[in-house]
Amino acid sequence: MNHCETIEFQPTPEELSIGIHGPWGDFITHMDPKLSMNSLNTLLKTYFDRDMTYRADAINAFLGILQRYTQAEIPIRHYFGLPFRVSQKSNSPGAANEATSQPDAISRWFAFALTFSVRYATRRLEFPSWSWTGWCGYDISPYNEASSYPPYIDTDDSDARIWIERQEGNIQNLRDFYEENGLDLPVSAQSHFIWLEALTAQLKFISPTGDLVSLCPEPDKPTIPIVLSWSSGNEDERYYDWIIYWHLPIRQELKLYSNFMVLNLIRGRSLDSLLIVGERDGKKERVGCVYVSRRPDSKRDAKWFKERYNISQDTKLRSYDQIVWTRQKIRLG
């Protein structure tokens, strides 16, 4: 920020009530007195677009804002800068009990937080890929409770389970980690790895020419038609559906990954939120997020899809709802 001592400043009652005592411009006025997740996301979007002199400071310059939001009525905590709500413990044992059919609410909120997306992104290796701190880019889109993406979903739509890997190597479910004040440890004392259990399928990116392409066109480059192939090992098995919303890294960054897979993180009434995971240097990383429509549309059958993307009519295409999902537990760094 820039602050000139010669400016005469008269704070408003609202600014005084939330502890603001300087002419700091529009950036700070988004911190509303209710400390909602939506206002925090607005601040994060503003902050993310800024250039960092030292990449390792990506989280440090935002910690004051994140700390303020722990005072919300339903506290908003963060792990490596990734904000998520901390709901009250449910009556059921939740994720702490491996036999429980549904995960604890805190794991569901964390799963929603993982669905952020970034345009024109490249990796910031000082931080984990599953957090926004692990990426440089523009136009971050965090999960927003008031936005149209993803619509018609709530935390009950996720059955993902989350574990935290401690620095000493053992793993602990997120609820216990939080209740033992694990979130209060400094970043330097945290491991970069989490464990995530969800429905999974193999993924391939196919263009009409068969090249690996990015779902986010690079600046000043034309949009490239895309076909997503959820494969079970058979090269001829390609699945299609209408992709509502997506952001993945630039093509050069995407080429650094191999063995892609999708995790069906959230199954909504009209959309599925799919986490894209790739392998890099022997470990799995979160690459991006895709929202896929689940609304039936007779006009978008296999024939329409082939004509739309100039695919040979001989190519076998199956609809998205025919994918066979396998539940797996994977380690993300």
Mean pLDDT of all residues in 166-185 = 93
Q: What pLDDT band is residue 227 in, cutting at 50, 70 and 90?
A: very low
- How far is it, in rounded angstroms, from Cα 114 to Cα 108? 10
Residue 205 has a pLDDT of: 66
- Inform me whether the pLDDT recorded for 256 exceeds 80: yes
Q: What pLDDT band is residue 283 in, cutting at 50, 70 and 90?
A: very high
- How far is it, in rounded angstroms, from Cα 56 to Cα 134? 10
Residue 295 has a pLDDT of: 65
Pick 57 or 322 by higher pLDDT.
57
Q: Which of 10-19, 146-155, 170-179, 234-243 bottoms out in mean pLDDT, i.e. has the lowest?
A: 146-155
Q: What is the rounded average pLDDT for all residues in the chain? A: 75
- Which of the residue ranges 82-91, 174-183, 259-268 has the most confident prediction, judged by mean pLDDT? 174-183
- How far is it, in rounded angstroms, from Cα 110 to Cα 134? 16
Mean pLDDT of all residues in 40-58 = 86
Mean pLDDT of all residues in 242-266 = 79
SS3 320: helix
Where is 120: in which H helix or E strand?
strand 117-123
- How far is it, in rounded angstroms, from Cα 68 to Cα 75? 10
Q: What pLDDT band is residue 212 in, cutting at 50, 70 and 90?
A: very low
Pick 54 or 317 by higher pLDDT.
54
SS3 sequence, 226-250? Answer: CEEEEECCCCCCEEECCEEEEECCC
- Torsion angle defined by CA atoms of residues 134, 201, 246 and 61, in that order, rounded to the nearest 10 degrees: -20
Residue 15 has a pLDDT of: 55
- How far is it, in rounded angstroms, from Cα 94 to Cα 182? 18
User: What is the number of residues in the chain?
Assistant: 333
- Inform me whether the pLDDT recorded for 197 exceeds 90: yes
Pick 188 or 12 by higher pLDDT.
188
- How far is it, in rounded angstroms, from Cα 173 to Cα 175? 6
Q: Which of 88-92, 124-128, 194-198 bottoms out in mean pLDDT, i.e. has the lowest?
A: 88-92
- pLDDT tens column, 5-39: 665 656 666 655 555 444 444 444 445 667 888 88
Pick 171 or 54 by higher pLDDT.
171
Task: State pTM to two decimals.
Answer: 0.79
Where is 26: in which H helix or E strand?
helix 26-29
- Inform me whether the pLDDT recorded for 144 exceeds 70: no
- pLDDT tens column, 108-122: 889 989 988 887 788
Q: How far is CA 211 from the centre of its chain?
A: 26
* Cβ proximity of 248 and 239 under 8 Å: no
- Residue 317 to residues 233, 271, 286, 333, Cα–Cα distance (Å): 14, 20, 27, 33
